[in-house]
Amino acid sequence: MSPDHLHDAALDTRLIHSDRHMNPTSSVAPPIYQTATFRAESVKDFTHRAAEPRHPEYYTRFGNPSLGQVEAVLADLEGAEAALVTASGMAAVSSAVISMVNAGDHVLAQTNHYGGTANLLQKLLPRFGVEVTQIDQRDTAGFERGLRKNTKLILLESPSNPVLALTDLRAVATLAKARNITTLVDNTFATPINQRPLELGCDLVFHSATKYFGGHSDLIAGAVMGSRDAIMQVWDAHVIVGAVLGPFDAWLMLRGLRTLALRVRQQNQNAMALAEFLSHHPGVNSIHYPGLKTHPQHELARKQMSGFGGMLSFDVKGGFEAADRFLRRLRLASHAASLGGVETLAVHAAANFAHYMSSEEAERIGIAPGLVRISVGIEGQQDLISDFEQALG
């Protein structure tokens, strides 16, 4: 956590200074410990380092000062006791899940998850004797109906990818705690700037740090945050599968985190402006953005989020071909996968999710043939609106 004198400082300040005490040099930018291994002074010293979990100077798969520095900032950011960085967002969720369940256990999850998470639930866990039930995240009572005696984990994602549906995190966390079930939340879309699941009672939070934490589309990384005991449990699995993040990538994430609050606030504002424009455009059938009063879960968004995020999706009138035409006509926004960078990215959701699910499965969770997902960047608002206006024709 932050040094004592920063305890009451603004989040913007802590993102820049909370790890300053961990830099042993006079360099303003922290050093990169780009090494696989570390020298020991003696056999006793070597044995001590090898025996201590997450020692920062034994072997980088176990720990590294560059990784430890960004983990300290991440723990402070989510209000957690500890954090663990991983090689990707999928490494984060996979390490967390396999550390929490065994053969014969049951996982309760949502019908609408990021495609990689859905593959983990539907294709990998059943091979190892773990049962999975997926329910509509908007049906809070459905979580209770889906519980079994062997339920060990509830996996959540809010807002969800790509239809921006919400889960009542506090209600589900309360349900889980009463039964000693662990809750694990994908907070990638919201970021801790807009939503803090641990404060709502959830146990563990994970992120694809590739997205908003890096913020510049030049990093692949993941992160898990929670109690020290829970993170140690995840770390044990992470060390075995070797899902370690490299020191330079940890440094890139740390650099990106310095401006996270600034970027997300601008993305919140840009997304709201763009969503309002699209909600009145005759070429748009429907729009999904929790900040709009027309979103069916807007009141829940206001209750559990402090900002509505930089992600939105909308259904282009005319279906698949019209969405393809819109994407080809964009000038500022790039037609590319991923999200959370300084630049606006657009992707045809039906095409993007085709390698994860059938068209019938996609439509069941709200992915219409003309659905386009937008990751709103930090460009000028009017420039973005003008680009979308000309692309929609």
Query: Which domains, and CATH codes, for the chain?
Result: 4-257 (3.40.640.10), 261-392 (3.90.1150.10)
* pTM for the predicted model, two decimal places: 0.96
Q: Answer yes or no: is pLDDT of 365 > 80.
A: no
Note if 105 is an active site residue: no
What is the per-residue pLDDT across 270-291, written as a single tens digit (0 to 9) for each? 999 999 999 999 999 999 999 9
Q: Which amino acid is at 341?
A: G
Cβ neighbours of 354 (radius 10 Å):
14
Q: Answer yes or no: is pLDDT of 2 > 90.
A: no
Q: Which of 33, 114, 212, 289 is catalytic?
A: 114
Q: What is the mean pLDDT of the chain?
A: 95
Q: Distance between CA atoms of 296 and 75, rounded to whole angstroms?
A: 32
Q: Which of 105, 168, 186, 249 is catalytic?
A: 186
Cβ neighbours of 238 (radius 10 Å):
28
Note if 114 is an active site residue: yes
Q: What is the mean pLDDT of residues 48-57?
A: 95
Picking from 57, 63, 69, 59, the residue whose alpha carbon sits closest to that of residue 23 is 69
Note if 186 is an active site residue: yes
Picking from 238, 359, 124, 340, the residue whose alpha carbon sits closest to that of residue 349 is 359
**pLDDT value of residue 364:** 76
**pLDDT value of residue 6:** 83
What is the per-residue pLDDT across 210-231, written as a single tens digit (0 to 9) for each? 999 999 999 999 999 999 999 9
Residues of the chain above pLDDT 90, percent: 93
Q: Which of 14, 211, 263, 373 is catalytic?
A: 211
**pLDDT value of residue 49:** 95
Q: Which of 54, 61, 255, 317 is catalytic?
A: 61
